[in-house]
Chain A
Amino acid sequence: MLAWTIYISFAGALVLALLPKGKAGNGQSAALARVIALLVAAAGFAIAIAGFAAGAGQGRVTIVDVPWVPMMGIHYTLAADGISRVLVLLTGLAAVAGVLFSWNINHRTNEFFAFFLALIGGVYGVFLSFDLFLLFVFYEIAIVPKYFLIAIWGSTRREYAAMKLALYSFVGSAMVLIVLLAAYAAAGSHSTGLVNLANANLPVSFQMWAFPVAFIGFGILAGLWPFHTWAPTGHVAAPTAASMLLAGVVMKLGAYGCLRVAIGLFPHGLDPWGWSFWGIGSWRDVFALLAVIGIIYGALVALAQTDFKFVIGYSSVSHMGFVLLGLVTLTQVGVDGAVLQMFSHGVIAGLLFAIVGRIVYDRTHTRQFGELEGMYLGRRMPFAAWAFVIAGVASMGLPGFSGFVAELQVLMGAWIAKPWWTAASGVGIVIGVAYTWRALQKAFFSDRLPRPDEHPKEGWPKFEAITWPEITGTCLLFAATLIVGIYPSILLNSIEPAVKALLAGGMQ
């Protein structure tokens, strides 16, 4: 059933691409495109929910497994375990919210939603593939729509950012392709099935180099420091829906690849080298160090930004650091936390980007704190202010929201592995509070008096009223982070057994 999320997304993209374009200024075809996109996204979300509910208590369920390229042993294998189901759910949620928050796109609307749905379809595909080859195919399918979404509908330095994102992604996937080719050859050129490769007993020496190449290849997309630089520029340049997807699900593609492919197929790549340098004695230590640096660096840089959206962009790097740190703890609780953090950050970052990009920027046409400070947005746009307060609080990791449960588990896992990881990343959380408050205060509750030239004589012009898609989208994302924050078991029950199986080696 879950496989239909992929098919309907691509079908929706195709329909929208072929939809006859209305004459310029004709709103009808744009409205139709929006409705189609919303229906497709909602259908995908509904299937994701149903699949999640149906999969409760089950392990890995194979959805379809047919030979695709029989001569090379490549199968079209779609399957779902607890991790996949959670991430598919996230994708459905992000897709619906993304469509809602791009309701005001009027420029080349059909194409916008066509690229949007093609991206979503690719993302669903990655989360459901259980053949490395198929996973790679979907992974690459997701690159091209990102480029066009940013380059055509983006803002600040969009062409530069789009190209940077596309090239970073493609370099990452080139590394993954090298690992894929090598693993295929090393396992005897019989199969690219994830289960088969995991059980192929690849030599330790092979895993030792394949692991870091795969981890960095996927990690580039997960915002692994120092390969994260595409993320802030990409997020900032992207149109709101694309930022939401980038932070919400595309970065998760990378993290998911790190978990499913790098750790799942090459577990011995994390073994100690037998020597150590300043406490770094394995790839695990190396990537934990990079993750911790990412957490602190992202947070510090976010603290210094003058552009509202850059704050959120860098905060994504910081939060994704927790995901990567959780993964390399290799402890049950740490990896559980990492997967939960993928979901949580997907929802919260989506919300933050929606508020900054759609609700605030589309009305004020500026994201500079210096200008926002003089606008009294706290009073003039109370919905945005309160939404940002709640989202910010969730982002800081306050109990009651999903971020808390997730980051707590990551920190617990890190403590079990190496206590200093926890200590160092705790600093990141503190800075996280600081940059979130700073942004909140500067954007919405500034006490700086407006300069005379900023103060219009005839009172403040009214902003366009908050529209129903914005309210719906905001509520949807709030609900998700609250439900998971209050009752995390709803996801953890699904994540735990899958992580356990994955860490136990092999994926039988």
Chain B
Amino acid sequence: MNYADLFRVTLPETALDIAALLVLIVDLGFLRKAALQTRIMASVLIGVLGCAAALVAMPYQAAGGLTYPGSTDLLLSAGGYTAIAQVGILVLTVFTLFLLIGSEFTKHVGEFVAVVLMAATGGLLISAGQDLLVIFVGLELLSLGLYILTAFAKRSGKSAESAMKYYLFGGMSAAFLLFGFSYLYGLTDSTNLHQIMRALNSSPANGAAPLLFVALVMIAAGLGFKVAAVPFHLWAPDTYEGAPAPAAAFIASVSKVASFALLIGIGTAAAHALDPGKPMHVWITASMSPKSMPAYFGFAGPWSLIIAIIAVASMVFGNLAALAQNSVRRLLAYSAIAHAGYILLAVAYFSRSNISANAILYYILTYGLTTIGAFGAVSVVERINGSDRMDAFLGLYKRNGMLAGVLLILFLSLAGIPPLVGFWAKFNLFAAVLQVDRGVAPFALVAIAVAMSAVSLYYYLQVLKRVFVMPPADDGPVKGSPLTMGVLALITLAVVVLGCLPGLMQSWMASFYAGM
């Protein structure tokens, strides 16, 4: 490994960071006296160009990623699931930047965009990282950015409060994660995911060590925090409610994509270390008593069990808690917890082939897109009515028919109604779980997930009922800026088109694996 190789693998990250610096220079250096909206336009433009440059740079990344010197083990992967996640992160970052247009929560526009870009860099890095240290650095880069973004509305008490909560929880979970990582290192003498998995599988003593269980619980706590899974979700409702809309959308989409990409990375490494014939699945009896665990179980057995428990807790608790919400943002937060629960099922039942990885990415990318749209629509209403309470949406169909239509499509997609994309994501995901293992346990888990998504329709309809059925409390029009409405229309169109032609995105994703 030399720095030229490293540079070639991290081209997209480099492009983003250069754009971040450019934004600072332009905004702080040249546009100090310009009007706020001009500065926003300029900063967003540079940010978008940075993402575009990163996208353009992606094909020029060193194929196959970067290995350690004198070893075939990967340090940073490229192509395959990494590339899909990175493209997703870049595209979703562009959409979140668009949400900034027309907002007035901060005067520090350049800084906001720069932090977004740097956080996205962290996201790109953890999608590629195959080494615990790289992963940790990437995660912290992402997380620190998110704390700052949450606190960005300086005049809002809620923003500060939620950032504080987010930061305290985040710091704690990072400590857990690092603690877990250190145990893994202690058990296996390596910080590389592949070497760790092999070491755990080859030696029964390691594979069955109670210490491993402790390490995995710690890691699950750290990563569970990132994806807002129960019981590590407490920050999510407050952050979603308090953060400025573009920041909340970024947390709900880009950060989730990156975190699930990391889980895919761990799953891929674990599944590849297993015998080809043995799927990664929850072996309840074996995992319950580590001593009786077969040697090949290594990492995968206890990991799947822990993840499956978190998944069920998330989808049940997230959906039930969402029923009681009165704030649409909090509702979106609890629904995000529920969605994370569904996805974690596919993390627990992970396959060597790319079915599981693709199903997870399909879900999280389309979910991220839908959520950005939902936050965009909510923020338009919020700006006019000054609140994101359910009652702020009363009679929206009369006040802005198009926004009402956007909310209809996006919320129904989140609820998983065909032919919208959210439905395909769910179907794809559950089919992948059942394809990995056709036993009773995965089937029961999928049945719980399907039943819970039936519950979710209720709370999405509660919002849509106010939008379409109930009379408006106030007749004034709700106007968003044309650009915002255009972006929302684009997202809605994508949700419909990708839903009607689900093969499009699947074959697009498959193309990334072509050379591998």
The answer to the question of A120 belonging to the interface, with a C-beta cut-off of 8 Å to chain B, is no
B457 near A167 with CB under 8 A, answer yes
Known: A137-B418, A177-B450. A159 touches B431 (CB 8 A): no
Which residues of chain B are within 8 angstroms of A152 by Cβ–Cβ distance? 468-469
Selected contact of A136 from candidates B412, B418, B469, CB within 8 Å: B418
A141 interface hit (Cβ, 8 Å): yes
Q: Is the CB of A184 within 8 A of B454?
A: no
The residues in A between 121 and 167 inclusive whose CB is less than 8 angstroms from any CB of B are: 133, 136-137, 140-141, 143-144, 147-148, 151-152, 159, 163, 166-167
Instruction: Please name all residues of chain B whose beta carbon is closer than 8 Å to the beta carbon of A69 when the two chains form the complex.
Output: 424, 502-503, 506
User: How far apart sit A71 and B505, CA to CA, in the bound complex (Å)?
Assistant: 11
A218 at the interface (CB under 8 A from B): no
CB 8 Å contact bits of A361-384 with B (1 = contact, 0 = none) = 000000000000000000000000
Complex: chain B residue closest to A17, CB-CB: B405
Bound-complex Cα distance A67 to B461 (A): 33
Question: Would you call B427 an interface residue if the criterion is a C-beta within 8 Å of the partner chain's C-beta atoms?
Answer: yes
- How far does the alpha carbon of A250 sit from the alpha carbon of B431 in the complex, in Å? 28
Interface residues of B in 1-28 (CB under 8 A from A): none
The distance in angstroms between the C-alpha atoms of A71 and B428, with both chains bound, is 11
B458–A163 contact, CB under 8 A? yes
Q: Is B37 an interface residue (CB 8 A)?
A: no
A151–B503 touching, CB < 8 Å: no
Q: Which residues of B contact A182 (CB under 8 A)?
A: 434, 443
Is B418 touching A159 in the complex (CB atoms < 8 A)?
no
Residues of B within 8 A of A290 (CB): none
A289 contacts across to B, CB distance below 8 A: none
Complex CA distance for A163 and B461, rounded to whole angstroms = 8
Chain B's interface: helix, strand, loop or mixed, by majority?
Answer: helix
Chain A residues near B428: list those with CB within 8 A.
Answer: 72
Instruction: Indicate which residue in A21, A171, A181 contacts B427 across the interface (CB closer than 8 Å).
Output: A181
- Contacts A140-B418, A152-B468, A167-B457: A181 and B503 contacting too (C-beta < 8 A)? no
C-alpha spacing A167/B459, complex, angstroms: 11
Using Cβ atoms and an 8 Å threshold, which residues of chain A touch B435?
185, 189
Residues of B near A456 (CB, < 8 A) are none
Q: Which residue of A lies closest to B435 (CB)?
A: A189
CA–CA, A182 to B435, complex, Å? 10
Chain A residues with CB under 8 A of B430? 181
B510 at the A interface (CB under 8 A): yes
Other A-B contacts than A143-B417, A178-B446, A181-B431, 16 sampled, CB-CB below 8 A, are: A21-B401, A68-B502, A71-B510, A72-B428, A141-B417, A141-B419, A144-B412, A144-B417, A147-B461, A171-B451, A174-B450, A178-B450, A185-B431, A186-B438, A189-B431, A189-B435
30 A-B Cβ contacts within 8 A?
A: A17-B405, A21-B401, A71-B507, A71-B510, A72-B431, A133-B427, A137-B419, A140-B417, A140-B418, A140-B423, A141-B418, A144-B417, A147-B461, A151-B469, A159-B469, A163-B458, A167-B454, A171-B451, A174-B451, A174-B453, A174-B454, A178-B446, A178-B450, A181-B430, A181-B431, A181-B450, A185-B434, A185-B435, A186-B438, A189-B431
A interface list, Cβ under 8 A from B: 17, 21, 67-72, 111, 133, 136-137, 140-141, 143-144, 147-148, 151-152, 159, 163, 166-167, 170-171, 173-174, 177-178, 181-182, 184-186, 189
Counting from the closest, the 9 A-B pairs by CB-CB distance are A185-B434, A137-B418, A174-B454, A151-B469, A174-B450, A69-B503, A170-B454, A170-B457, A171-B454
